[in-house]
Amino acid sequence: MSNVTVLLVEAGGYFNWLSMIPLAAPLMQGSANDWSFKTEPQLFSSKGLENHRQSYPLGRGLGGSGQLNYLVHSFGKPEDFQNWPNGWTHDDLLPYFENVASTMNVESIPTDGELIQAFLHAGKSVPTEDASFHPASSTLRRGARLSSYHAYLQYAWHRNNLHVLTETRATKIIFYNATTDGIEVTYKDDTQGVILAKKEVILCAGSVNTPQLLMISGVGSSEELERLGIPIVSNRSNVGKNLFDHLNVPLYVNLEAPISATLRKIQSISEVYKYFVSGTGLLATNGIIGLASLNGSGIIFFSGASADEKLLKNIANFKTETFRAMFPSHNNTSHEGFLYLTSCWQPKSRGTISLRSASIFDPPVIDPAYLENDDDVECIQKAIKLALQTLDTKLFREFGARIHVPDLDDCRHWKQDYLDDDYSECVMRTAGLTSHHPCGSCQMGTNDDAVVDEYLRVKGVNGLRIADASILPSPISGTPNSVIIAIANRAVDVILGHSTARFNSFLKTKSQPNV
């Protein structure tokens, strides 16, 4: 709409060229493009991590976390959306999913490699009913990262009604009689300013920064705001509540056959040459080749498991002894093997985002409460058992696939066998890692407890909406990035007052997506 002007205010800047290399995603963590948060010490998990705290990477820059994630695509399952409000069911979102799949160049990986062949064959051979195995899909284009920045924002870059302000942090939302007037900002040179909004403000800061900014601005639990001396604009007790994330338990599998993506192969001159000359080879992939699910349990299949200790131990915040126990390849870049990440797609544990102080510049208190609900333990155990079953199938046996059983100090008093529930729970609570999928901290819904309504409007105030991962009412059975992009597309329709039918008609008349 040419009669509407949009100002995009971004706390970070541009991501560097390294972010474009899919396998370089770990190198982006801890960089200037990462908020580099850490959780509070966890009571029920993370015992093998320094101070029991998880690293919590979130993208800081144009494109957000889509510029440092692992590019795995998923729209979840239809039943994931069954309790979402009207207008947000799976059927409602389907046309937006189709648009995202096209715009983000979603493609399945080739299935002619030995490991993916073994994985798909295992899916037909395991005795467990209802298990689903399929090749992974990703958002890559010609061997390079494709994020929402590349697929959407860049196509709107030269529009006269779009203005982009980088290296500028929103520090407070300005309200007058519970109506949004604009935002306070701090610029790169630490000077401060005020930006007034003609119509409304839309928060897209993610599941950590969005609730923090709301609470700093006076929208949140009155008890917490009063404790910190923050004037109350609207008492919304559930701001920062309902936080959920997927916890991954890594299973290392040794191989005798030389068919995995070892670190030595990835760093070889031939692979570097292939990538920079023709955009092909191992560096042109994200390394994730398959996914499996069983009811609410899930497996992500990495085609390699060479683990650079200096890099991966630090970004995951592992204690040295935990890292070395979990990854036998830590001192051998040629070690053949792959990694299963076992998870619970529909965790029941719920955490919180809360304020450390009344200053936006103090990191918020992040408590995901991983494994607080014992049902999540059982859910991940089902994923572990499914993963073990795959190794007892024909092709994996031919490749000499053998599970690595980590020798962890805290777990030595249990039978050293993943099939033993006590042992697997101990490994889970010791070495489970965040999937980097925080969602839900400003839940959308029609009840009074929800933070935003079905039109994404923050309840209790006027002129303020949220369109990011924080509004998800419940988890996605898979990686949520593509669903969040679809939510952004749907938000356009909601804000402009379009129906789904009008959105479909609009897409047919445009060669590039609307932003």
The catalytic site residues sit at 437
DSSP 326-361: H-TTTT-TT--EEEEEEEESS----BEEE-SSS-TT
Shortest CA distance to 224 belongs to which of 240, 205, 209? 240
Residue 257 token pair: 């056959």
CB 312 within 8 A of CB 323: yes
CB 71 within 8 A of CB 107: no
What DSSP character marks residue 414? S
What DSSP character marks residue 311? I
**Spatial distance between the Cα atoms of 298 and 341, rounded to a whole number of angstroms:** 8
**Spatial distance between the Cα atoms of 241 and 228, rounded to a whole number of angstroms:** 18
Q: Give the strand pairing for 219-220 and 234-235.
A: parallel
**Spatial distance between the Cα atoms of 412 and 23, rounded to a whole number of angstroms:** 34
**Spatial distance between the Cα atoms of 490 and 502, rounded to a whole number of angstroms:** 12
* Residues 6+ positions from 142 with CB-CB distance below 8 Å: 279
Compute, in degrees rounded to 10, the torsion defined by CA atoms 255, 386, 298, 411: -80
Compute, in degrees rounded to 10, the torsion defined by CA atoms 234, 227, 54, 414: -110
Give 46's Cβ-side CA count (13 Å radius). 25
Indicate the residue type of 299.
I
Neighbour tally for 97: CB within 10 Å: 19
Residue for token digits 């795995």? Answer: 72
Residue 116 token pair: 């993916």
The burial class, CB within 10 Å (0-12 / 13-18 / 19+), for 83 is exposed
Give 40's Cβ-side CA count (13 Å radius). 15
Indicate the residue type of 476.
I
